[in-house]
Structure 1
Amino acid sequence: MTFIRETIITSCDAAGTVHVAPMGATVTETGYVLAPFRPSRTLDNLLATRCAVVNFTDDVRVFAGCVSGRQRDWPTIPAERIRGAVLAGALAHEELDVAAVEDDGVRPRLDCRPVHRVTHRPFRGFNRAQAAVVEGAILVSRLHLLPPEKIDREIDYLSIAIGKTAGPVELEAWGWLLDRIAEHRACGGKAP
């Protein structure tokens, strides 16, 4: 069975410019496998610098903001052991070195090993709306791959959790996702 954690990856290019992106990180016995699709700034950064940070956060606006394009400039602080950046609001983070790369024309797999782990604050769990926003962000990241009917069915189902348990942060994030879906459809399925 594959165990994937939904995380925020912070990576830097050779000049030190930080890129923030949501990504599922596959848990392994020695760390994580990251498998960004081509083309990807995260992939370019990982290949150029051979390091990144996996961030764990309960602020679902980061997931929604990145995939919707509503906000990408999230505050970061310098990493402690690698040349990288940590999401300032992270509950915990792990600084990673890329140990090996399995090349692929669509989705290379990067075997990453933690070199430093820090817990900043306790994780108190997701409510249903937070989990719905993360699932909605995954759907939005795949708008170009999935049929509109599937998107509509999933969004309708996830909206139940939003209606029952969302606070202001989750409502803001959910709004960004719905706006992005509408923009995608208004542009005929192309990037706005």
Structure 2
Amino acid sequence: MIQETLVTTVNPQGEVHIAPMGVHIDGDWRIILPFRPSATLENLLLSKTAVINFCDDVRIFAGCLSGRRDWPLSPAERVAGFYLADSLAHAELQLVRVEDDELRPKLFCKVTHTVNHRPFQGYNRAQYAVLEAAILVSRLDMLPPAKIQAELDYLRIGLEKTAGEKEREAWAWLMDVIEKHQSGAQA
């Protein structure tokens, strides 16, 4: 199973990096597969720790992909790291082993501590649409423009029916990124 999360890591200078990432769940393992090059990969290899954040504010996912990475943080309890203050829950991880790969190494982590901050109330279709659009934005250089547009057209249906202010804001940030990417490709 893959869970869409926000992974926080810390570099040697103490700077926190936030990255939307699908984390693979395999029994007790949490497997993180960042593409090379990646701040998440470098930070995790150096510190041997990370925090997985479970969050229902899709603006954080969209924000990370549109240059908005300044989100409130709190110190982790058992690892040298931080969690997103707005997370519903977080899991603190320790890196145990690495399966190296030229493109996408597999980082096998064990959960050392979990905290539930508040209950999950469920996702609406707009939140799902923003998450899927964020994934598309992260693959703008990998997918054909027609595929991206077709997916966005479909996702927009759920967004328009169920979005609140946060979801509309997040969607707008992602559409700005796509528009800039397309205008750069056409220039």
**Shorter-chain TM-score range:** over 0.9
Provide the rounded CA distance (Å) in 2 between the counterparts of 1:163 and 1:17: 37
* 1:16 Cα deviation after fit: 1.4
Unaligned stretches of 5+ in structure 1? none
CA offsets per residue over residues 111-150 of structure 1, 9 Å max, x none?
0100000000000110000010000000000000000000
Question: 1:1-192 residue pairs with structure 2 within 5 A?
Answer: 3-69=1-67, 71-188=68-185
Name the count of aligned residue pairs: 187
Provide the rounded CA distance (Å) in 1 between the counterparts of 2:95 and 2:20: 18
Instruction: State the identity as a percent.
Output: 55
SS in 2 for 1:106: coil
SS in 1 for 2:185: coil
Provide the rounded CA distance (Å) in 1 between the counterparts of 2:101 and 2:40: 15
Provide the rounded CA distance (Å) in 2 between the counterparts of 1:167 and 1:75: 21
What amino acid does structure 2 have at the position aligned with 1:134? L
Unaligned stretches of 5+ in structure 2? none
* 1:52 Cα deviation after fit: 0.3
Root-mean-square deviation (CA, aligned residues, Å) is: 1.1
Provide the rounded CA distance (Å) in 1 between the counterparts of 2:186 and 2:178: 9
Q: TM-score of the superposition, structure 1-length normalised?
A: 0.96
Q: TM-score of the superposition, structure 2-length normalised?
A: 0.98
Provide the rounded CA distance (Å) in 2 between the counterparts of 1:13 and 1:167: 35
